[in-house]
Structure 1
């Protein structure tokens, strides 16, 4: 059985001393959090980004149009963080920044993301056209240090910029070589500060925050779920490789009777169907109470394939309205479990025909 990250998500059974520090500041004007983000019964999150490139082990070059200010600081990283710790409302540290950057890449399809933090961990939310929402959940236990001084800390940042900063050292995949991360936030109107260290070189990135928009509440709760299956991710990858992705929609049929679980496309090559027997080795759980056939815009679902590529299991759920939930179980480089969830509205125009 897999452990779900939040109460309403029933998927799934289941620093170093430095010789020099380079400080960069960039981003839009700082925003203010004047309302609490709506809780999702567990985790909250925050995200943002800009554009950075590293040319050699000692020099970092920014390519961002948002670049505002650069300064050089020779104070060691540990001294800096200890001096400022009391001012931060949120401090999160990782020995390997890839554990954060990889899961953020799984929800990167728009520039900005909403970060919400609670004592349980981080939730990062990205939305598109009020029809689709992606959430990445990073539990507090995954961080080597996770300190929060308020019940809820929220802000919005540019996700592209944040990812560029997290990969400022090139995102090394060499065994035994990783970039350490210390992420700090002072709260109301302050930038998100990243301390990144690799091989004795420390870079400090400051990303200006904005007031977070209110996330859409899809009102997707387990009590309204009518059908649910849990699959090994490899089987869903295989299905997508065989279906015609030129189709404008993906049709999902879930039923207690045959065809049980069917994916269908209607593209340039004609109609294609991919069926899963309920007793398939790839099917870890089959729980369908009524026959449902819904269509979803392929353009909205394609971003979720980023999470699928990283995951080992996926939960597919539909509620009584036809809303779709895709929950992905992702293991990071250290074998720890994170979750990514996508919500998608059904294609109402197709249903009305």
Structure 2
């Protein structure tokens, strides 16, 4: 990979260097959490964490372990900065995302420190493009301190299966109701649209369930104010 031939002298000026043979791997991860323009990047020797927040009430995190990168060098205990996520994704796909087998866009991401831009070296087919994205001082993200002892219900589902489930929902409904219960229906998605009420039930032992821990019935509703990330919930006694 030509990018790997960048001199060690050049690397000496950076406090963070991360390289990938295929930029699509990181762009796909970032697309999954892109619901706001800006993201907070926090790097430690363990890897890179990307946080996106909205109105201090909704947070999405993606963590890319250091082992995922072909090279991951950090010269401080932690490095943090904020960038425009939309601009970053545009840069990562600057070559258009080749679909030719064996042809990938290599990425080398470098950061010199506070006040400096995030520099991207992208190479495909022997052509190298350099992008520099202005960085900002990162805001302090919300600390969602969920104590494990206070967790009533916990469900982990396969993302692809959940995406398919959401695609079947009635989009005319102003409310998406999520029910979790230790008894049937176990996990239920409900909509209340123009064509009537609809319930989609998923057994706790279905293929889409990675983990199902439920001690009592809980109902959460995502209302028509979902654009403002407003949730209402209730936990009826059972």
Instruction: Indicate the TM-score class for this superposition, using the shorter chain for normalisation.
Output: 0.7 to 0.9
Task: Output the CA distance in 2 between the equivalents of 1:152 and 1:78.
Answer: 24
Structure 2 unaligned regions, length at least 5: 219-236
Correspondence for 2:27: 101
User: 1:128 deviation in Å?
Assistant: 1.4
The 1:271–1:207 alpha-carbon spacing in structure 2 relative to 1, beyond 3 Å, is same
SS in structure 2 at match of 1:164 = helix
Q: 1:134 aligns with which of 44, 60, 78?
A: 60
Map of 2:78 onto structure 1: 152
Measure, in 2, the Cα distance between the counterparts of 1:115 and 1:272: 40
Q: 1:231, CA displacement in angstroms?
A: 3.1
> What TM-score, normalized by structure 2, do the two folds share?
0.85
Structure 2 CA distance, aligned partners of 1:280 and 1:79? 49
Whether contact under 8 Å (1:115, 1:124) holds in the other structure is yes
**Bigger relative contact order, structure 1 or 2, given CA contacts below 8 A and separation 6+?**
1
Deviates more, 1:225-234 or 1:246-255: 225-234
Structure-2 separation of matches of 1:241 and 1:149: 44
SS at match of 1:212: coil
CA distance in 2: counterparts of 1:81 and 1:246, whole angstroms: 57
Whether the 8 Å CA contact 1:98–1:166 is kept in 2: the answer is yes
Provide closer, same or farther for how the CA distance between residues 216 and 81 of structure 1 changes in structure 2, counting only shifts above 3 A. farther
Q: CA deviation at 1:229?
A: 2.4
The separation in 1 between residues aligned to 2:62 and 2:204, in whole angstroms, is 29
Contact 1:116/1:152 (8 A) holds in 2: yes
Summarize the Cα distance change of 1:78–1:263 in structure 2 as closer, same or farther, 3 Å threshold: closer
Matched, 1:85 2:16: no
1:214-257 C-alpha deviation (Å, 9 max, x unpaired) = 11122224332211223344542342233212323321111112
Distance in 2 (CA, whole Å) between partners of 1:255 and 1:77 is 52
d(CA) in 2 for partners of 1:285 and 1:79? 45
Going from structure 1 to structure 2, the CA distance change for 1:269 and 1:108 (only over 3 Å counts) comes to: same
**What's the TM-score once normalised by structure 1's chain length?**
0.58
Q: Which runs of 5+ in 1 are unaligned?
A: 1-74, 293-351
Give per-residue Cα distances to partners, 1:242-290, cap 9 Å, x unaligned.
3212323321111112221111122222221111122334434321011
Greater mean alpha carbon deviation, residues 270-279 or residues 100-109: 270-279
- Distance in 1, Cα, partners of 2:86 & 2:38: 8
Residue deviations 1:327-348, cap 9 Å, x none? xxxxxxxxxxxxxxxxxxxxxx
Contact 2:3 2:106 survives alignment (8 Å):
no
Report the Cα distance in structure 2 between the residues aligned to 1:281 and 1:150, rounded to whole angstroms: 42
Match of 1:188 in 2: 114
Deviation readout 1:186-212 (Å, 9 max, x if unpaired) = 111111111111111111111110011
Alpha-carbon distance in 2 for matches of 1:238, 1:192: 36
CA distance in 2: counterparts of 1:143 and 1:291, whole angstroms? 42
Structure 1 residue runs of 4+, over 6 Å off?
none
Q: Secondary structure at the match of 1:214?
A: coil
Shift of the 208–234 alpha-carbon distance from structure 1 to 2, 3 Å rule, reads closer
Task: Show the counterpart of 1:199.
Answer: 125
Note the alpha carbon deviations across 1:284-305, whole angstroms, 9 max, x for none: 432101111xxxxxxxxxxxxx
Q: 1:250 to 1:221 in 2, by over 3 A?
A: farther
Q: Give how far 1:80 is off.
A: 4.8
Take 1:168 and 1:234, find their aligned partners in 2: how far apart are those partners? 27
Query: Are the counterparts in 2 of residues 243 and 273 from structure 1 also a CA contact under 8 Å?
Result: no
